[in-house]
Chain A
Amino acid sequence: MTSLVACVVRESPNLRLPLNLPSLSNLARLFSPRIAPWLDAAVVFDASGLDRAIGPPDRIASEVCRIAAEQGMAVRVAIAGRLTTAWTLAHARRGVSIARPGEEAATLASLPLDSLRSLGAGPLDSLRSLGLRFAPDLECLEILRRWGLTTLGDLARLPRGEVHARLGPDGVRLHQVASGEDECPLAPVDEPTRFHERSELEWPIDSLEPLAFVLSRLCDALEGRLARADRGAVAITTRLRLVTKTAHERTLHVPAPMRDARVIRTLILLDLESHPPGAGIDVVEIDLDVAPGRIVSGALFDLTLPSPEDVATLVARLSALVGEARVGAPVLVDTFDTRARALAPFVVRDARPASGSVRDSDSRTDPGRLSVRRLPLPVAARVTLEHGRPARVQPSARGLVGGPVTQCAGPWRSSGAWWTLDRRAWDRDEWDVELPGAVYRLAHDRASGSWSIDAVVD
């Protein structure tokens, strides 16, 4: 594959770094991920292989000019086999310049000697980041002019050894440029590490429905950038600037890196449904924390599990329906208080069972094993005792059956948290009692003497 480098230069350069991505960089990224911008005045990108997608170098250059014109930019474009040649041509000539690989020296030959000044057109550090390692010594250029040289071709025709003997390393570097040689290859910059999109609205948005359209546009842009960088979002921060000049900020943490624009938009919308902004929205910003993209390897015989994107969306929808604190995976609480219940975030792990392969017999539970249904708010009960044991239970709730106790077992004493100053301390006796039609787990609070039904054995 022939190596090609393209250089795009603005006709009226803006040397200040804009706050957002330079638009020349965006233009270059449409053609190649390997780009090296110089402020917003010029950009160099690797055009190798584009001939198969677009066509020969002149077609590539025309395409760059066409898209730049569509975006409102007037540019010069040069394509060559060498970085320095493309850079020099683009700065020296208007319009499109092409130097086919191997013809760099011939193409440069007609350029005036002053074209070499473009190598020192900006801060040296910026040029170094492009792979242009030096700024030409102006004194050298003046010496060359006094020798009667007027074009780069004149310089290239001089013996390099003689140039070195008279002008030293600076002279040799100028000779290399005139001969169409690079000192080092293109050093592309990484994608910007900040994945951020912002939209200022002409009119404030008061409801979520129109906001969905704005979010779609921002999320689509972010999805493309995430895909190019092979990254996925693990935290989504949405900042809304309101008409009241206040900010409404929400951050969502997702269980696995994801980049699907629809999923991200849905998650943001569902979160904003649960936590709506207090006023109309003027500005919408989305900021993503990213991690390397997931590598998913499909398997024919593995069990089907919901994808992390589906789970995140489902949990967000369920959270919007029943509340964030009411959705998750149950966890055992480290306490002797049997009433304690808690949730952890629900995350889908791989399909492999925790303890290797599972046989049919392993996945069976003993029928008749006791399970309880916990009453979230214990129901007070009037309990009649005989010989210190419950003989009759009458719940305060009409829906629970009461009556004489046919069997009972207990008490099992339980106490804890007596060392705390809050009201979490408990000290009680628990009983299992069977009535006609139900088996209850009763609790007798030893401090207050009250009875309650904590759970139903089921």
Chain B
Amino acid sequence: MPSLAIERLESALQARHFDHTLASHRRFVEGVARVAPTGWASLDAPLGGGWARGELSEIVGARSSGRTGLALATLAAATRRGEVAAYVDAVDRLDPVSAAAAGMDLSRLLWIRGPALTAEQARPAAIDDAVSKAVRAFDLVLRAGGFAVAVLDLADISPRVIRALPPATWMRLARVMDGATGTAGRDTAGLILGDAPVSRSAGGVSVRLTATGVWAGQSPQQHRLARLAIRAEIVSARHIQGALRVGA
């Protein structure tokens, strides 16, 4: 791990009174590298720079609340820094065109596609199986290590199905991330994308999103959906922050 290597190097340099040479890198290690920026500047500030690495956080919101946009922005930021990211897509909803438009380097994204189901009308057994496989795939990604961000997309899945998972599932994932089972997941920011709160680790945060469409153009020919006006509410173990306006 670079952080460990840097610590050793700093110790060696400190013994020889050369530690000032690494001052700029210490800021890098302690500041930026321990978080994965969300890609939205207005959200990074209240989050202390971004999603905490080694923690399981969640993005919660109803349909058209901007939750996918936030996940894609986070992944795009990671891939643009040269890191790799993973997207576990429980029911195959990722749109590569949207991902590329968000600025993502698609070649640095590992996309694990679940079955092509319409979650809203599929058989319960098929959904249960898809969710179970997605959670296992997410677990494998975290254990492999080396990914800056790993997203588990459970949006559009009925909360009933998610509640049916064994409660230890989320605790196990959190333990993988905090390094209890090895160092693999400590540098990964884990994100769960859901309609309703699912779970987060002790140091993770929940970001609840709501949005309304912003339409532009007066005439029928010019009328178009321009953007989403998004409001975010950050909930963490330490504080509940009021709603923030993150989009115009």
Contact = CB atoms under 8 A, between A and B. Distances in A.
Interface in B7-23: 9
A318 B137 CA distance: 6
A398 B121 contact: yes
Interface string B212-248: 0111010010011101111000000000000000111
Given A367-B66, A371-B98, A349 B83 contact: no
A154 to B, nearest CB: 69
Nearest to A373: B93
A228 interface: no
B169 interface: no
Given A313-B144, A358-B82, A372 B95 contact: yes
Contact of B118 (A327, A361, A376): A376
Interface in A305-322: 305-307, 310-311, 313-315, 317-318, 321-322
A331 B54 CA distance: 29
A380 B25 CA distance: 55
A368 B117 contact: no
B136 interface: yes
Contacts of B196: none
A348 B63 contact: no
B121 to A, nearest CB: 4
Contacts of B120: 379, 395, 397-400
B68 A310 contact: no
A275 B72 CA distance: 34
B146 A369 contact: no
Given A326-B112, A409-B223, A368 B68 contact: no
> How many residues of B sit at the interface, in one of the four size bands?
35 or more
Contact of B214 (A301, A368, A397, A437): A368
A20 interface: no
Given A367-B43, A370-B227, A371-B68, A305 B81 contact: no
A365 B111 contact: no
Contacts of A351: 82-83
A301 B5 CA distance: 9
Contacts of A438: 62-64
B44 to A, nearest CB: 8
Nearest to B72: A371
Given A318-B140, A351-B82, A379-B118, A437 B62 contact: yes
B170 interface: no
Given A318-B140, A330-B109, A343-B111, A432 B63 contact: no
B64 A376 contact: no
B156 A373 contact: yes
Given A322-B133, A396-B121, A407-B215, A365 B225 contact: no
A301 B28 contact: yes
Nearest to A325: B113
A259 B55 CA distance: 33
Interface of B: 1-2, 5-6, 9, 25, 28, 37, 39-43, 62-70, 72-73, 76-77, 80-84, 91-103, 105-121, 133, 136-137, 140-141, 144-148, 155-156, 158, 187, 211, 213-215, 217, 220, 223-225, 227-230, 246-248
11 contacts: A298-B5, A301-B2, A306-B144, A314-B144, A344-B107, A361-B41, A364-B37, A365-B76, A375-B118, A409-B224, A456-B156
